[in-house]
Amino acid sequence: MTRRDYEKIDGSAYANIYAVGDLHGCYELFMRELESVKFDTARDLVISVGDLIDRGPHSLSCLRLIRNSWFKAVKGNHECMAIEGLLGQDEHYQRLWLYNAGDWVLSLNPTERAEVLDLLKFCAGLPLVIELNDEGVKTVIAHADYPYDQYRFGRSLTQEQAVWERRRIEMRDETEIKGADAFIFGHTPLKRVMQLGNRLYIDTGAVFFGNLTLLRLK
């Protein structure tokens, strides 16, 4: 499994661009949010902060989103647990994933399980960081954090830092990260979007509170 850490997106190719918080299987809620903004799959783009799966009722439907050209995503910790557990046959991650609501896969039929494996192979190639550039504005999206005080495309980082780290938000650290205009993260469920410095945390607990944030970037 090859890991790709960074991806760049040219925002000028799209009419409207949105960032969406952790879906966690809340497919129908996501579809309602897209409908509310009259999302056009031919002209618009959604960038997900990851954690498409687990806990909610429609994990497979959310995982299928990665096949769409209008949908981009960074890897979340739940995708990473599934990838390591199912594809990598890592017993530690298998147990960790099942403990963290990955047991939905056990109720699937053989055809659906095969599809999940194929989709996770696709997920294994998702980036940890997406850099969006549009009209001179640089926005960086990752699941949990960007581990430095200075952003640089391609800078070395570990999967652990990008998909699990909560230190900054737990400390309510308002230090700005230089090198980009804004950073968007998910991972930590909140009642509302939180801004700390030039960082926005947009996991507003779709699966816990029924509140999914669809943040317009363009």
Query: In whole angstroms, what is the distance from residue 42 CA to residue 4 CA?
Result: 26
Radius of gyration of the chain (CA): 16
Query: In whole angstroms, what is the distance from residue 146 CA to residue 85 CA?
Result: 24
Which letter, b or e, does each residue of 123-149 get, where b requires 16 or more Cβ atoms within 10 Å of its Cβ? bbebbbbbbbbbeeebbbbbbbbbbee
The amino acid at residue 143 is H
- Which one is catalytic: 58, 78, 143, 187? 78
Residues paired with 194 in a beta bridge: 201
Do 116 and 63 form a contact (C-beta atoms < 8 A)? yes
The amino acid at residue 199 is R
Q: What is the side-by-side order of every strand in the sheet holding 17-20?
A: 71-73, 45-48, 17-20, 214-216
Match 């739940």 to its residue by tokens: 78
Give the Cβ contact number of residue 106 at 10 Å.
8
Q: Is 92 one of the annotated active-site residues of the chain?
A: no
Q: How many residues does the chain have?
A: 218
Residues paired with 131 in a beta bridge: 8, 140
Structure tokens at 200: 């926005």
Residues designated as active site: 78
